Amino acid sequence: MWSYELASTPLTESQKAAVVGVPELKRHLRVSGSEEDRDLVEYLATAYDFLSGPDGWLGSCCLLNEEWIAYSDAFGGAYPFELPLRPIQTSTLLGFDYLGSDGVYVPIASDDYYLSRTGTFGQVYRQSFSSPWPYVGLPDRRAYRVRFTAGYGTTRDHIPSPIRQGIKMLAGHWYANREAIGEIGRTAGEEVPYGLKALCGRYRIGPDHR
């Protein structure tokens, strides 16, 4: 089973907001003044986080490129390692190591494995079965380590336009609905869609930790 962690520097609020940009959002909202620009940056960054990342609404999908390290306790022989995040580009695999008996990671030769992008998630396969894979001793949940990049690219132009439009729609929604409960019209007294639960629900646990 995979576990994974972010290896690159976390994206800044400004980098996330720039996927759409405040001027474009203001045109979308028909806002001309600059008094709320700071709020608009936060709405855009929040919309980005809502969609992107391991827990994002899109489902283990990174928008801008980020480097990750994934670990596995075993290699499945003829079965591949499936990378836990997407999308995966051609040159996305940065390294593949195994844990030596001395507790130090040892690189696996690049011609001993290859990356397949035929599925939704990238898969790492053995290139040849002519020699055994390294013995890693006692079971360890981090016996194998893969470093890879997930994301559509490094700039906003690499991200599909429907996703950028979705970020604008979410940011616009939160701009128009600033409370968890509707105040006027049909939604008065009702929970606002894509409001508190949608934003914070994935971070919540109950009193009994369930």
pLDDT in tens, 25-77: 999 999 998 999 999 999 999 999 998 999 888 889 999 999 999 998 876 55
Instruction: Measure the CA angle with vertex 38, ends 34 and 40; round to 5°.
Output: 85
Higher per-residue pLDDT: 40 or 135: 40
Most confidently modeled of 17-31, 98-112, 177-191?
17-31
- Position 191 pLDDT exceeds 70: no
Which range, of 104-113, 155-164, 194-203, averages the lowest pLDDT? 194-203
pLDDT band at 102 (very low <50, low <70, confident <90, very high): confident
Output the six-digit token pair for 193: 């869609």
Q: Beta-carbon neighbour count of residue 106 at 10 Å?
A: 12
Residue 70, strand partner residues? 4, 146
Give residue 40's pLDDT: 97
Average of per-residue pLDDT across 17-26 = 96
Burial letters 125-145, b for 16+ CB under 10 A, else e: ebeeeeeeebebeeeeeebbb
**Three-state SS for 82?**
strand
Which range, of 27-31, 46-50, 129-133, 170-174, averages the lowest pLDDT? 129-133
Instruction: Measure the CA angle with vertex 75, ends 71 and 81; round to 5°.
Output: 65
Give residue 189's pLDDT: 47
Instruction: Identify which of 82, 136, 74 has the alpha carbon closest to the alpha carbon of residue 105.
Output: 136
Phi and psi (nearest 5°) for 202? -70, -15
Share of residues in the chain with pLDDT > 70 (%): 76
Average of per-residue pLDDT across 83-91 = 87
Higher per-residue pLDDT: 206 or 63: 63
- Could you tell me the maximum CA-CA distance found in the chain, to the nearest angstrom? 70
Rounded-to-integer distance, Cα 196 and Cα 182, Å: 12
Contact 83, 199 (CB under 8 A): no
Contact 194, 170 (CB under 8 A): yes
Domain boundaries in the chain?
Answer: 9-55+155-203, 66-150
Return the CATH superfamily for domain 9-55+155-203.
Phage gp6-like head-tail connector protein (1.10.3230.30)
